[in-house]
Structure 1
Amino acid sequence: MRKGQYQFVTGFLFIPVALYLVFVIWPYIQTIGYSLTDWKGQSQTFSFVGLDNYVALFQDDVFLGAVWHNILFLVFIPVITILLALFFAFMVNAGGRSRAGGVAGVSGSKFYKVVYFFPQVLSLAILAVLFGAVYRSDTGGMLNGLLLKLGLIDAAEPIEWLNEPDFVLWALMAVVVWHGVGFYLVLFSAAMQSIPRDIYEAALIDGAGRAQSFFRITLPLLWDSVQTAWVYLGIVAMDMFVLVSTMTSGDYGGGPDHHSETMSTVMMRNFLYFGKSGYACAMGVVMLLLTLIVSVVTLRATRRERLEF
């Protein structure tokens, strides 16, 4: 680097780095500090309690149940979303065959891309209202109304989707998957368009079917994009606060009877409702550590040798 360029680069980066330290790193440090105290949130007087908050945290059945729910989200949301997005992306990019014998998407693929991506433009607040109507606990709800028309339920006993312990987590997962498939379809489609068509055409000449083309060509060449999607969806699964707090019963969500609790809803309830802010900060630190661990493990577990084409 030439003489004087160090000063230029340092001066150019000074303000962004300073802002990052002040508005990102410092709040993390504060949260870790508060997690070691009995801070009540509003009062500026608090005492140092060491690791007492963390000891109490792992004896809290509600929080431990919330951790289990987040683990379920972490397993099912990325798997279902990525599988659906990969399937749809493959079909709209390489799932059809043109009349000339080449490779093309299914008929109407451009229209399908718009339709699949549409949920992504809706905010989570709008999704909560929309699916609140879908999951209504009377026969006026879309899902119950459909099941009633099919004769699968009795009008006197509609299913309370968001108040049934056996259904509530799956109902929330369905919303997240419906919202996310379109975005990852576009992500995978962009990666697929960089794959030379000659590779697919050579496979077709050799007699490969759609399934063989997908598993032998598409998936290996898209592995970096799949890895990235898995990390982002894992972060989404570790949060879930907006949907759970707005769609389920209870203060800041989590109902019925804590069957849809997540770590974020338990944390916010303790911080804002019970006034146990130091305890809530300990939950935030645990969430941070778990999210980092999940990201690192996912990146290492899905690491493969880069394929060149």
Structure 2
Amino acid sequence: MRKGQYRFVTGFLLVPVALYVIFVIWPYLQTFGYSLTDWKGQSQTFRFVGLDNYRKLFQDDVFLEAIWHNILFLVFIPVITILLALFFAFMLNAGGRGRAGGVQGVAGAKFYKILYFFPQVLSLAILAVLFNAVYRSDGGGLLNGLLIKLGLVDADNPVEWLNEPNMVLWALLLVVVWHGVGFYLVLFSAAMQSIPRDIYEAALIDGASRNQSFFRITLPLLWDSVQTAWVYLGIVAMDMFVLVSSMTQNMGAYGGGPDHHSDVMSTVMMRNFLYYGKSGYACAMGVVMLLLTLVLSVVTLRATRRERIEF
């Protein structure tokens, strides 16, 4: 019976594992192999160069600056998104206390959940188009038009949101946060609904404030969900290709403007791979991105690991 069971399980796993190896593991191995060559992308002839591409990477000022930009996104995107999502989820599930009947969400909580989740329905390409209109560098842009109406900006000298070196990263960060808060709000709301209301009501009877209820009850019981959200948002921060390439076209191919001030690792990689024809060099960048993402995931999971709380 046991042998038959193993044969049955193996039969089900064989095809999925084979497909995973062919379409996921094998491309990774190919990329690493190409990163050790001077492959140009178009030809099938290439020369083995060893670790030369990796040595060049850490002398490439554009790529090093792109890593720094990814680190900034890595710090701010998860922190801001998770804090906002936790706050809104808490208010929608346990923020209303005015009516008799214990702990409840604010009035209209279901409508607010739909409203906050709506940006998640839109693809990043559509968001890029929408926010290009928002960030237009003339009076026709939503932000500049509003600031001009309020008299905060001169109509002849509007703000160049996506062309200011010190502003472009924050403009992109705002788009990612706006897009992601709704999804994690729903995720945290689903987790909060599994928390017994008796716990909140006992805290209210003991005189706990909203801040104390959040930090002493909600956050510890949601830590597994927060940990998962942090890993996923970290991976988003390590990518950013779609928004940067779609919203910052100043550098020509694959965005990165002004003057590389919005470049991230993925845009530098694609520019070298498809535009400059340095495919082996770009594969080395891809390997570095993979290793950094794996290290990030492991460190995040270990750093945020806590003893599981049962309720």
Aligned partners of 1:3, 1:173: CA distance in 2, in Å?
Answer: 54
AA in 2 matched with 1:186 = V
AA in 2 matched with 1:265 = T
Q: Indicate yes or no: 2:112 matched with 1:107.
A: no
CA displacement at 1:263 relative to structure 2: 0.1
CA displacement at 1:264 relative to structure 2: 0.1
Partner in structure 2 of residue 225 of structure 1? 225
Aligned partners of 1:122, 1:71: CA distance in 2, in Å?
Answer: 26
Aligned partners of 1:115, 1:30: CA distance in 2, in Å?
Answer: 44
Specify which of 284, 296, 299 is matched with residue 282 of structure 1: 284
CA displacement at 1:3 relative to structure 2: 3.0
Aligned partners of 2:291, 2:150: CA distance in 1, in Å?
Answer: 47
Aligned partners of 2:180, 2:39: CA distance in 1, in Å?
Answer: 38
Q: Indicate yes or no: 2:295 matched with 1:293.
A: yes
Aligned partners of 2:133, 2:3: CA distance in 1, in Å?
Answer: 65
Partner in structure 2 of residue 37 of structure 1? 37
AA in 1 matched with 2:52 = D
Aligned partners of 2:139, 2:161: CA distance in 1, in Å?
Answer: 12
Aligned partners of 1:30, 1:167: CA distance in 2, in Å?
Answer: 38
What does the per-residue CA deviation read over 1:123-175, in whole Å, with 9 as the maximum and x for residues that have no partner?
01100000000000001100001111111110010001000001100000000
Partner in structure 1 of residue 79 of structure 2? 79
AA in 2 matched with 1:285 = V
AA in 2 matched with 1:95 = G
Specify which of 261, 264, 269 is matched with residue 262 of structure 1: 264
Where do 5+ consecutive residues of structure 2 fail to align? none
Identity %, equivalent residues: 86
The SS at the match of 2:258 is coil
CA displacement at 1:101 relative to structure 2: 4.3
Partner in structure 1 of residue 246 of structure 2? 246
Q: Indicate yes or no: 2:27 matched with 1:27.
A: yes
Aligned partners of 1:302, 1:293: CA distance in 2, in Å?
Answer: 14
Partner in structure 2 of residue 209 of structure 1? 209
Partner in structure 1 of residue 52 of structure 2? 52
Q: Indicate yes or no: 2:180 matched with 1:173.
A: no
CA displacement at 1:2 relative to structure 2: 2.2
Aligned partners of 1:227, 1:4: CA distance in 2, in Å?
Answer: 39
What does the per-residue CA deviation read over 1:259-295, in whole Å, with 9 as the maximum and x for residues that have no partner?
0000000000000000000000000000000000110
What does the per-residue CA deviation read over 1:197-247, in whole Å, with 9 as the maximum and x for residues that have no partner?
000000011111111100000000000000000000000000000000000
Aligned partners of 2:206, 2:73: CA distance in 1, in Å?
Answer: 41
The SS at the match of 2:310 is coil
Q: Return 234-243 or 144-153, whichever deviates more.
A: 144-153
Aligned partners of 1:276, 1:156: CA distance in 2, in Å?
Answer: 43
Q: Which residues of 2 match residues 130-141 of structure 1 at below 5 A?
A: 130-141=130-141
AA in 1 matched with 2:41 = G
Q: Return 71-80 or 204-213, whichever deviates more.
A: 204-213
AA in 2 matched with 1:305 = E
Q: Which residues of 2 match residues 123-162 of structure 1 at below 5 A?
A: 123-162=123-162
AA in 1 matched with 2:294 = L
AA in 1 matched with 2:227 = Q
Where do 5+ consecutive residues of structure 1 fail to align? none
The SS at the match of 2:239 is coil
Aligned partners of 1:91, 1:16: CA distance in 2, in Å?
Answer: 42
AA in 2 matched with 1:31 = T
Aligned partners of 1:150, 1:297: CA distance in 2, in Å?
Answer: 46
AA in 2 matched with 1:229 = A
Alignment size in residue pairs: 309
Aligned partners of 1:100, 1:140: CA distance in 2, in Å?
Answer: 49
Partner in structure 1 of residue 195 of structure 2? 195
Q: TM-score, normalised by structure 2?
A: 0.98
AA in 2 matched with 1:246 = S
Aligned partners of 1:294, 1:116: CA distance in 2, in Å?
Answer: 28
Aligned partners of 2:80, 2:11: CA distance in 1, in Å?
Answer: 46
